[in-house]
Amino acid sequence: MKNIIWIFVFGVLVSCNSNKDKDTDTKSEGYDMYEPSEMSMLMNEMYDYNLEIKKQIIEGEIPTAFPLDFLKIHSAELSDFKQRNSTFESFSKVFIEAEKEVFNAESTVNIEDRFNNAVGICISCHQTECTGPIPRIKKLLIK
Nearest of 137, 70, 138, 143 to residue 102 by alpha carbon: 70
pTM: 0.75
Percent of the chain whose predicted confidence (pLDDT) is above 70: 79
Note the pLDDT tens digit of each residue in 18-44. 444 444 444 456 677 888 999 999 999
Domain ranges for the chain: 1-33, 38-138
Q: Give pLDDT, residue 97.
A: 98
Q: Give pLDDT, residue 31.
A: 75
User: What residue ranges of the chain have pLDDT lower than 70?
Assistant: 1-30
